[in-house]
Each structure stands twice: as C-alpha cells, then as structure tokens.
Structure 1
Amino acid sequence: MIKVLDNYELYFKSYQRIKILKKDVLCFELNEISGLNARKTFDFIADKFFNVKCDYSFFSKRINRHQGDLVVLPVVYSIVIGEICINIVITTKNLMYFNSLEPKMTNEDYIDITSEIFKERKLMFDNIILLIKQKEYNILKNNQKCFIDSKKYLNGYMDAFEENEIKIKNNLITEEEILQYLQMRKDLRLKLKDILDEELNFIKINYPKYLKQWKYYQKFEQMCNET
C-alpha cells in the first residue's frame, strides 16, 4: 500500500480524465456492470454512442485478466511431429477477440478442441478455450500417441493452473484487512483520504448516492472522521 500511495498518480487517474472531458460524462455504479445488470447497461451505451448490437455472451464471463492465473493467458503448447510444429493456444473466449483469432475462427483457420481435451472434467473457468489450426489438428489426430500425450499434458497443466488459482484466492487481502491496516497507520489513512477527496470529487458533486452505497468507503470515511 505504501508503494501505491507514493505513486498514486499511476493508479488514480479518473478525475484527471474527467477534467479533460469536462462534459457528457456518464457515470455508472459498479453494480450496473455486474453479470446480472451488464446487458441492460451496455444495451443503453451501445444505442446511445455506437448503434451496434452487443454480444451478450461476454457479460456472463470475466473479460479482463486481473485475476490470478488468468494474467498469464494466452499461452501456447507446442509439440513437434516430424518436421511440423503443432501449436495449441490456451486462451479465453474473451481474449480470443482481442488476440485477432476470432476472424481466423470464422474462416475455419482455427478450431476449438476444448471439449475434446477436457471432456472428462469441469473447468474452474468455463471461458477457457483451446484453439488449433485445422491442418495441425488433422496431423495431431493421425498420431494417436502424440494426441494422447498432449491431452494428458494439457490436463496436467490445467490441474496445476487451477491448484495455483485456489492458492491465490486463499491468500487474497480482504477489504476488512485493508481497513484494519489503515486503522493502525494514521499517516497512510490521511494520505489516502486526500487522494480520494480529489479523485472522487466529480462523483461527490454529481452522484453522491453512489458513494453512500460503497460499504467500505463509508467505513473508511468514518475511520478518518474519528481521527
């Protein structure tokens, strides 16, 4: 936390962006982009600004990678058969679009072999996907030993992937622990308050109802007021 506060300009930038925009700023409470409410919210945004249809499949899955082992994706599993290198891309359905694989999937350059490799298991992340070029898939399938070995390796990789994910989640710092730490560090508490007072100024003026819904922010404010 000390490093974050010492370099706060790297992390707290929303108010600087808002000052540049100055007008036509829309503000949404976090609950409005939750899995349950995102469809309605992005329908509104799409109609207002872009006039395009939304792909609702994204709203039931995590899009960004700021969660445990998902940050390492995509990764590529490679195996050489003869003089040909076979590559299987381990990624997510969401990242597939950002990695420019979606057009190739449409043109059948890549195929999805997720269910074939992981058919005996339920994945922790159901948006993980395995992609391989059609020609390379044919070569791999025609070599049953390499195919079985690859399937075994990929399931082992996913075992380690999911085990490490559980370890990460078990060691996450909670909001309550952060508040407890700030309770002991008056200097950091007041420094963070000064930063948030500036960062949240626009919301305080225009959307005060949102701040009232932020449980831990309210606890933090109460803590600072009791100082």
Structure 2
Amino acid sequence: MKLGLTMKKSKSIQILKQQGIIKFIKYKLNKIIDKYIKKINKLYEYILLIFLIYFKKTPFKKPYKFILQTYAVSAHWALKEFLTYSGNLQNFLLYHDRHINLNNCKNNDYYVEFRYWLDYKPLYFFINKLLIHKTPILILTRDPISRLKTGINHGDSKEELDGVRSVNKTFNLQDNLNISLDRIRFENKNGYNINQKIPSLDSIYYMINVKLNFKYFSNMKYIKSKDILYIDAKELSPKNAFNTIKKLSNKLKFTSPSESDKQKYENILWNEFAWFLPYRLLIDNDILIVVADENRVFLDNDENYTYIKENLIDIKKYLVDDKNKLFDKISINIQTSNWQIIQNNEILIDKLKKYFKEFMIVLEEKVNERKNNLVTEEDVLNFLKEHKDIRDKLKNILDYELQHIKENRPDIIDSWEYYQKFIKLCNEEG
C-alpha cells in the first residue's frame, strides 16, 4: 500500500515540475472525479431501487427474455455481441445502466444482465423484488485456471501522466511511435502498476483476492428461478458460437441467428491488438484516422465511433505495403468525406506512407513482445503448486461455488482440463 501511495505522489510531483500548476490541478481533479463518480452512480441506482420497491413498482414493464449472469474473462463480451446479432436483442445491465436506459428496450426484445466482479455486491432483496417476470437464468462459466491465465494476460490501457487512459488518446505525425504504442500495463500482486510492462504470475493473488469473482453458487441461489442454464466459454469459440446461439434462441425464445450473419460469429473479438488499437491519428488538426483490426471489432464496440463508423472506409491499400505481415489483420479507417479532401494531397500522402511504414514495424514488435511474455495455464498451476496459501484459498472457494454446476452440469466440470489438474495438484500437495 505504501508503494502505491509513493507512486501516486511521485507522479503528481512529476506533473507539477514538467507541466506546471494548471496541469497538476487538472490531474488531481481528474483523480478525485474518477474516485467518486462510480460511488455516486451506484448510490443513485440504490436510491432509485429503494423508491421503486417502496411504491411496489418495477422498471421492467415489458417482460425480459431471460436473466444473464456474466463473469470477467469468460468470453462475456463475445456472448453479448452474439446476442445482439440475433434479432437486435438488447442488453440492460442492472446496477450499471441508468433506469432511463430501459427506453432502449421498449421496442426490442431484451435481457437483464448481472455482471459480477469480486467487489460487486448486489442487493439481493431488491433484485428479487424487481425481477418479477419468471424467466430462465443463463450463467456463463469457464475453467477457473483458464480465467486466471487470461486475467493475468489481459492487461489494461496505460494511464498517462494526466490520469487519462492511453486508449482514449489522440496522436499526431510528430509523435514517437515507440512511445505512442507503449499502451499496455499489467497487474502485480497489489493490482495495476504503471511499471508492470509484462504479465506477472504474482498477480494471481490480486486476481483471487480482488479482481475475479468465482461466486457462481452464491450469486445464483438468491434469485428465485428454478430454470437455470449454463453456457461454457468453449461453446462460444469461433467454431461453435453460431450453433450455440442458435440452440439458445430456441431455449430462451429470442430470434434465431441468420445464416447470412454466420461470419460475424466466427470473429475473434479479443485479439492480439487489444489495447494497441484503436489508434487515433489526427492530421491537419481536424481529420481523424483510426487504425483498427481488420474486422473493426474494437470500433464496433466503442461508443466514440457510433456516429461515424458507417461512413468509414479502409485506406490501408493506399498507405501500406500489402506484403507487410500485418496487412491483412488491420484496417486504416477514415471518413469518406475526409478521404476525398486529402487523397490528392501528394505531400500529405507521402508523409502518411512514411508514418505507417514505421507504425507497422513498431506495432509488430509490440504485439510480438506481448505474445512472448504471455503466461499459460501450466504456468498458473506451477505457481499455485509453489504457493500453498493462495492455492488453498482458491480450492476452498471453488469447492463451495461450483457445487450447483457439479450437480446439474457435470459435463462442464469434466471438460475443464486445467481445473482437473488443479484438483489433482491439491490432492497430491495437500
């Protein structure tokens, strides 16, 4: 804890010395706002829910199709996207979405989602009063050891000196690309660390103690529904996703996915470019170029591009050698009207070609650096073997929280290769 406080202090002093008092004050204000805005939002939701309970009202006038319980690093993003592809099935995230966001669900089928992280403690009494419609519960699962692996490798966008995450930053042609593309940081034993540039197995302590929620049984048992369905992350792989959603549509009574959209279900939503892309390049002060993955997955799921993404065209063939290793994996996007403005500007196009030649080199280096430092499930198991304290804690958590899955979907438990190895390890090590 002392280390974290020291780092924050040194960053403040650094801003004060390098950027002056105005930037220092702005940084401090941003930190205060970030700290309290979530608490204020949550308090608002609680007050609203209490009001609704008191007047015996529910915000859900129109019946929702089902209740979804999702857990971090379990393909929850992919599942939600696939559900959206199916007849525009809308999502309402209880305790996170505003009550007024239900307006988005008035003219569409929708479901209610609970997104579970370890520090998220819903008010179960309120939940049962609000969720008056009898519908199935769909619970997303994944091999716990694989979740730990992905949690360690996941990383986050780097926090800049002004407190802004680099994922939201805009760059220009004069920026140093080695600095601009240094965009990822990871957790250590105590959480996010600005100096942690590669995944750390020590963060397993943080994952189990703070970040990841394994409370499948604890979270499910309070909701009054006997119709409980489980879906495992493996069922959402590119090979299986389309058929999985098709089966779910029959069970949960929502529009079945169209064969014409099958390709969408085969996209890998979380790929090697996560946190590196989208990359925002501003030219001539007001023209935005956005580098994204080839399928523009990160753009489609970023509200910053909601109003322009339909007018974007990919201009990489004009700027990048098609023999580049990453050519088929990325897109360089610009609004059609802006491309018409700059496409005949030979001086600018030449600058962009030189810029993106270096950009592709540095991007490949950064992607490979991350790949080369990723941990595996076997690495996680070896760490747990050497650290009895956290191994025993995880074992006790899973023994309790997986009981309902073991009773009702033993096939899911049996399919978890690394969980089975973990249990064997615990039995052998004691």
Pair 1:11–1:211, CA change in 2 (3 A): same
Whether contact under 8 Å (1:58, 1:94) holds in the other structure is no
User: Which consecutive unaligned segments of at least 5 residues does structure 1 have?
Assistant: none
Deviation at 1:20, TM superposition (A): 4.6
Relative to the length of structure 2, the TM-score reads: 0.46
Deviation at 1:117, TM superposition (A): 3.1
> 1:154 maps to what in 2?
356
Whether contact under 8 Å (2:321, 2:327) holds in the other structure is no
The answer to whether 1:56 aligns with 2:262 is: yes
> 1:77 maps to what in 2?
281
Deviations 1:132-167 (A, max 9, x none): 111211122121121121133123223212211111
Deviations 1:72-124 (A, max 9, x none): 422211111xxx52210122322232235466444xx3222234333523554
| Alignment root-mean-square deviation, CA | 2.6
User: Distance between the aligned counterparts of 1:172 and 1:113, measured in 2?
Assistant: 32
Pair 1:213–1:187, CA change in 2 (3 A): same
User: Distance between the aligned counterparts of 1:173 and 1:124, measured in 2?
Assistant: 23
SS in 2 for 1:181: helix
Whether contact under 8 Å (2:278, 2:291) holds in the other structure is yes
Whether contact under 8 Å (1:179, 1:220) holds in the other structure is yes
User: Distance between the aligned counterparts of 1:89 and 1:213, measured in 2?
Assistant: 40
Relative to the length of structure 1, the TM-score reads: 0.82
> Number of residue pairs matched?
219
Aligned ranges for residues 129-168 of structure 1 at < 5 Å?
Answer: 129-168=331-370
Residue identity matched to 2:263? S
Residue identity matched to 1:70? A
SS in 2 for 1:27: strand
Whether contact under 8 Å (1:69, 1:164) holds in the other structure is no
> 1:95 maps to what in 2?
298
User: Distance between the aligned counterparts of 1:215 and 1:39, measured in 2?
Assistant: 24
Aligned ranges for residues 1-227 of structure 1 at < 5 Å?
Answer: 1-7=204-210, 10-21=212-223, 22-47=225-250, 48-51=252-255, 53-54=257-258, 55-64=261-270, 69-80=273-284, 85-92=286-293, 93-99=296-302, 101=305, 104-106=308-310, 109-124=311-326, 126=328, 128-226=330-428, 227=430
User: Distance between the aligned counterparts of 2:358 and 2:398, measured in 1?
Assistant: 45
Deviation at 1:41, TM superposition (A): 0.8
Pair 1:68–1:220, CA change in 2 (3 A): same
Deviation at 1:38, TM superposition (A): 1.1
Identity %, equivalent residues: 32
Whether contact under 8 Å (1:86, 1:140) holds in the other structure is no
Deviation at 1:68, TM superposition (A): 5.1
Pair 1:175–1:25, CA change in 2 (3 A): same
Whether contact under 8 Å (1:78, 1:86) holds in the other structure is yes
User: Distance between the aligned counterparts of 1:209 and 1:29, measured in 2?
Assistant: 10
Pair 1:63–1:6, CA change in 2 (3 A): same
Deviation at 1:187, TM superposition (A): 1.6
